[in-house]
Homo-oligomer: A and B are copies of this chain.
C-alpha cells in the first residue's frame, strides 16, 4: 500500500513536471521571443510576423530535436480541439470587432462573391484536379471523401501576410476586399468542410451538390442569427445594468465571456462558431462597446487584439515546430520525388483555382457596380492581381482541417494520412515563407506610390457627399408628391446599386430604432473600436 502510493506519487510528480510545465514554458518563451523579434523586424522589407513565427518555430523544433536526441521535435500534441476551441475564436472575434463596418457592408456583395462563391469554385477545381493528378505523380490510396476534404482544406486562405502590407487609408477598397474575403473564406471553408463530412460518399448523385449548398445556407443563416442575437443581448445587458457604476472589470469580463459563449453555443448546436463569433464581434463593437466606460473601451479593444495576436503567433509557431516532426516523415514512406510532386501539384492547383475565380468574379463585381464605377469602387487589373496573390498563402485553418481529416486526435494512423499531413505542412510553410517574402516587394511594385493625401481627402469628401444624397430619402417634412417621386427614385437606385441603398436605409433604421435601444454613439460624432 505504502509502496503503491509511493509509486503513484512519483508518477504523479513526473507527469506534473513534464507533461505540462515544460511544453508551456518553452512555448511561452518562444512566443516572447517572437514578439521581440517581430518588433525588431517590423521595418524589414521582406519579413512579416507569420514568417518570423514559422522560422522561430522551426529553430525551436530543431533545438528540441537535438536535445531529445532525434526522438521528437514537438512537445505539444496538436489537436484540432485546441485550435477550434481556444485559438480560432479570439482570432475571428477580433476580426469582427475591429472590422470597418461601413466599408465591409458597402462591399458586402463583392466580399461574399469572393468568400463564398470563390471557395466553392476553388474547392471544386482542387478536388477534381488532385483526383486527376495525384495518381499520376505516384500517390494513390485516398478515397472520395479525402479528395473532397482536400479541396476545402486547400481553399482556405490566410491573408494576414498581405494585410500587413496594404494600408487601409491608401487603398480602402482593396484592403476591405482582402480583409473581408479572408474572414468569410475562413468561415466558408470550415462550414463547407463540415457539410462535406455529412455527405454519404457511397450514394453520390446530382443532388449532392445541392444538398451541400442547402446545408451550407442553413448553417450560414442560423449561425449569423445566433451571433447577432448574442451581440444584441450583451449590448442590452450592459446598457440596462450599468456595470460601470460598481466595477469596470465586470463589463470587460462580460464582453469577453459572452463572445466566447456565442462561439461555444454555436458549436454546441452544431452550427458554425466562426460565423457566429464574427457577427457577435461586429454587433458588440457596434452597440455593446458604446455602453461601457471609457477605460473598458480601451481595454476591450486591446484585449481582443492581444488574444488574437497570441493565438495567431502560437499557430504559426506550432506549424514551424511540427515541420520537423520526424515520426510523420518516416511514416509517410514516400520518396523525395513523389513528395515534391504532390506538393507542386497542390501549389499549382491552388494558384490556378484562385485565378479561376478572382478574375471572373472581379469582372462581375465591376459590372454590378458599374453605376458608380467612377467612385473608385472599380477593381483594376492590378488590384485583381493583388487579390489573387493575397489568397495564395495557406495557414492555420488549412492545418487544423487537415489534422481533423487525416489524424485521430493528432495521431496519424497510416502512411497515406501521414503523407497528407506532411504535405499540408509543406504547402503552408512554402506558401507562407516564399509567397510571403515576395508580398511586400510585389505590392510595392504594383502600387508604387501611395495615393497622395489630397486624393484620400477628396475621396472621403465624395463619400460623404454621396451619403448626404441618399440620407434624407425618408424625411417626413416633404410633400406626398416629392415622397412618391423620391420613392421611385430610390427604387431605381435600389436596382442600380442595391448595396448602397440598403446600407443607407439600414443606417436610418439603426439611428432611429436600434441605437436608442441597444446603445451606440451619437449619430454626429461616430466612433468605433476600429
Contacts and interface: CB of A to CB of B under 8 A. Distances in A.
Interface of A: 8, 12, 16-17, 20-22, 24-25, 28-29, 31-32, 35-36, 38-40, 42, 81, 85, 237, 241, 243, 246-250, 252-254, 256-258, 260-261, 264-265, 267-268, 270, 295-296, 298-299, 302-303, 305-306, 309-310, 408-409
B32 A302 contact: no
Contacts of A296: 302
A249 B36 contact: no
A36 B237 contact: yes
Q: Provide the main secondary structure of the chain A interface.
A: helix
Contacts of A305: 249
Q: How many copies does the complex hold?
A: 2
Given A295-B298, A299-B303, A85 B249 contact: no
B261 A302 contact: no
A270 B22 CA distance: 12
Contacts of A22: 268
Nearest to A197: B9
A39 B268 contact: no
A457 to B, nearest CB: 26
A21 B262 CA distance: 12
25 contacts: A12-B408, A12-B409, A16-B81, A21-B85, A21-B268, A22-B268, A24-B85, A28-B261, A28-B264, A29-B261, A31-B257, A32-B258, A35-B250, A36-B241, A38-B250, A39-B243, A39-B250, A42-B246, A252-B306, A253-B310, A295-B302, A298-B298, A298-B299, A299-B299, A303-B303
A264 B35 contact: no
B257 A35 contact: yes
Contacts of A17: 267-268, 270
Contacts of A38: 250
A166 to B, nearest CB: 16
Nearest to A259: B28
A35 B254 contact: yes
A257 B241 CA distance: 33
Nearest to A305: B249
A249 B260 CA distance: 20
B39 A264 contact: no
A338 to B, nearest CB: 23
Contact of A36 (B247, B254, B303): B254
A306 B247 CA distance: 11
A309 B20 CA distance: 24
Given A35-B254, A257-B28, A299-B299, A267 B21 contact: yes
A288 to B, nearest CB: 13
Contacts of A309: 249-250, 253
Given A20-B81, A39-B246, A299-B303, 5 more contacts: A24-B85, A31-B257, A35-B253, A248-B302, A302-B303
A528 to B, nearest CB: 16
Name which of A237, A241, A246, A253 has the most chain B CB atoms within 10 A of its CB.
Answer: A253
Contacts of A16: 81
A81 B23 CA distance: 14
Nearest to A18: B268
A22 B264 CA distance: 8
A514 B211 CA distance: 68
Nearest to A313: B253
A60 B35 CA distance: 41
A298 B306 CA distance: 14
A28 B260 contact: yes
A22 B269 CA distance: 10
Contacts of A237: 36
